[in-house]
Structure 1
Amino acid sequence: MAMDDILLAAAKAAMDKAYAPYSKFQVGAALRTPDGQIFSGCNVENAAYPQGCCAEASAISAMVMAGGRKIAEIAVLGKGDALVTPCGGCRQRIREFAAPDAEIHVCGPDGLRQTFTLEELLPASFGPENLK
């Protein structure tokens, strides 16, 4: 599945609202549910660094608050030359709600840079079915 401009625009709008006074590194994320709903989130830093929140976690929280429980695809957008892939904790958060073949679109200011499946970013992962 190719990422569309709507998902990218939602991630960009979220990134523009990020609260990153310490790192100055704004990140936005937007996810799409299987029924087409889009939820976005931004990173929110805190003076007590471990208390901050990643953009992906914010978007997932918005989805859950609206009653969503499944991620079809997600776009993550950050500035700079390097790929801004989800951190390890967010890979696991995405895993809670996404299938191994869910696409994670890694974007920069100029658009899509690379698409990975969740399985590529989090191989041999532990998920909800492991608890059954």
Structure 2
Amino acid sequence: MSLKQGALDVRENAHVPYSNFKVGAAIRDAEGRVHLGCNVENVAYPEGTCAEAGAIAAMCAAGGNRQITEVYVVADSPTPVTPCGGCRQKLAEFSDAEVKVTMANLEGTELVLTVGELLPGVFSQSHMDRA
């Protein structure tokens, strides 16, 4: 399955009764498996789940390798939508800085950045070495 098609397909399953803003995400792990996620809203907005977080949760639930090697995120927006700050941190937890993140809209416009470009100066486990 291509990451693009997976993200487009899963986007249709988003639960967005409040914003109507559907997002789909697909990640590939180091074993080549594809994991999908869509956003799930809650009336208490901060309690919702982003598509990227859902894909990471699916990867963890599947067991096996937890190293992300590629990401694709798609939404119906004028320009490609970037992951929120929290999802950037989540992606960084499971990726190397060089991992490619493709962000797209439904018209086919794509923006490709690395995890390191999306989150320079990432907070990492090494910051806690003295704890």
Do the two structures share a fold, i.e. TM-score over 0.5?
A: yes
**Whole-Å separation in 2 of the counterparts to 1:39 and 1:66:** 9
Match of 2:9 among 13, 16, 25: 13
Note the alpha carbon deviations across 1:17-36, whole angstroms, 9 max, x for none: 00001001000000001111
4+ residue runs over 4 A deviation: none
* Alignment-derived partner of residue 39 in structure 1: 35
| Corresponding residue SS for 1:123 | coil
Q: How does 1:36-115 map to 2 (within 5 A)?
A: 36-67=32-63, 68-111=65-108, 113-115=110-112
**Whole-Å separation in 2 of the counterparts to 1:101 and 1:94:** 12
Match of 1:22 among 18, 25, 29: 18
List alignment gaps of at least 5 residues for structure 1.
Answer: none
TM-score under structure 1 normalisation?
Answer: 0.91
TM-score under structure 2 normalisation?
Answer: 0.92
**Whole-Å separation in 1 of the counterparts to 2:4 and 2:109:** 8
Contact map agreement 2:80 2:109 (CA 8 A) in 1: no
Q: Does 1:120 align with 2:117?
A: yes
1:128, CA displacement in angstroms? Answer: 2.9
Q: Which amino acid aligns with 1:13?
A: D
Note the alpha carbon deviations across 1:17-75, whole angstroms, 9 max, x for none: 00001001000000001111000000000011111000000000000011231100110
Identity %: 43
Aligned length: 128
| Corresponding residue SS for 1:31 | strand
